[in-house]
A and B are shown apart, each in its own frame.
Chain A
Amino acid sequence: MTIVKQLLFSFLSIIGFSILYGTPRNSILKTSLVGAMGWISLYISSLFFDSKILGTFLAAVTVGILGELFARYYKKPATVFIIPGIFPLVPGAGMYYTMLALIEKDFISAANKGTETLFIAAAISIGIILSTTLSRSIKRVKSKN
Chain B
Amino acid sequence: MDKDHNNRLEAKKLLLLSILAGRIMLGSGAETYRVEDTIERICKSRKDIKYADAFVTPTGIFASLEFKGEMLTYLVRVKSIRIDLNKINLVNDFSREFVNSQMSIDEGLRILRSINKTKNYNLLTKVLGGSLGCAFFSLLFGGSLLDFISSYLVGLAVILTVNSIDKYKMTFFINNFIGAALASILSIFTIKIGIGKNMDIIIISSIMSLVPGVAITNAIRDTMSGDFVSGLSRGMEAIFSALAIAFGVGLVLNIYFKGLL
Binding site for B on A (CB under 8 A): 5-6, 9-10, 12-25, 27, 39, 76-77, 79-80, 82-84, 86-93, 95-100, 102-104, 121, 124-125, 128-129, 132-133
Chain A residues with Cβ under 8 A from B44's Cβ? none
Partner of A13, one of B28, B137, B224: B137
Binding site for A on B (CB under 8 A): 28-31, 34, 83-90, 92, 120-121, 125-137, 139-141, 159, 200, 203-204, 207-209, 211-214, 216-217, 219-221, 224, 242, 245-246, 249-250, 253-254, 257
- Take A13-B137, A25-B120, A125-B216 as given contacts and tell me if A95 and B132 are in contact as well, using a CB distance cutoff of 8 Å: no
Do B129 and A20 touch (CB < 8 A)?
A: yes
- A sample of 13 inter-chain contacts (CB < 8 A) reads A6-B140, A12-B136, A15-B129, A16-B133, A16-B135, A17-B209, A19-B121, A79-B34, A89-B213, A92-B211, A96-B203, A96-B204, A125-B220
Partner of B129, one of A19, A82, A103, A132: A19
Shortest distance from the beta carbon of A83 to any chain B beta carbon, whole Å: 5
Partner of B88, one of A14, A19, A77, A128: A77
Partner of B200, one of A83, A95, A96, A129: A96
- Take A22-B87, A83-B213 as given contacts and tell me if A92 and B204 are in contact as well, using a CB distance cutoff of 8 Å: yes
Chain B residues with Cβ under 8 A from A80's Cβ? 85, 88-89
Shortest distance from the beta carbon of A8 to any chain B beta carbon, whole Å: 9
Shortest distance from the beta carbon of B105 to any chain A beta carbon, whole Å: 24
Do A39 and B140 touch (CB < 8 A)?
A: yes
Shortest distance from the beta carbon of B97 to any chain A beta carbon, whole Å: 12
- A39 — nearest CB in chain B belongs to which residue? B140
Partner of B217, one of A25, A83, A91, A99: A83
Do A77 and B220 touch (CB < 8 A)?
A: no
Going nearest first, the 4 A-B pairs with the smallest beta carbon separation are A16-B133, A19-B129, A20-B130, A13-B136
Shortest distance from the beta carbon of B187 to any chain A beta carbon, whole Å: 11
Do B126 and A79 touch (CB < 8 A)?
A: no
Do A95 and B211 touch (CB < 8 A)?
A: yes
B92, B212, B216, B249 pick with most chain A CB within 10 angstroms: B216
CA gap between A66 and B29 in the complex, in Å: 20
Do A22 and B85 touch (CB < 8 A)?
A: yes
Chain A residues with Cβ under 8 A from B129's Cβ? 15-20
Chain A residues with Cβ under 8 A from B246's Cβ? 95, 98-99
CA gap between A10 and B207 in the complex, in Å: 16
Shortest distance from the beta carbon of B52 to any chain A beta carbon, whole Å: 20
Do A90 and B216 touch (CB < 8 A)?
A: yes
Do B85 and A23 touch (CB < 8 A)?
A: yes
CA gap between A89 and B220 in the complex, in Å: 15
Do A24 and B83 touch (CB < 8 A)?
A: no
Do A92 and B85 touch (CB < 8 A)?
A: no
Do B221 and A128 touch (CB < 8 A)?
A: yes
Chain A residues with Cβ under 8 A from B86's Cβ? 22-24
CA gap between A19 and B125 in the complex, in Å: 8
- Supply 14 further A-B pairs (C-beta < 8 A) apart from A22-B85, A87-B133: A9-B136, A15-B132, A15-B133, A16-B130, A19-B121, A19-B130, A20-B126, A22-B84, A24-B90, A24-B120, A79-B29, A99-B253, A129-B221, A132-B221
CA gap between A124 and B126 in the complex, in Å: 26
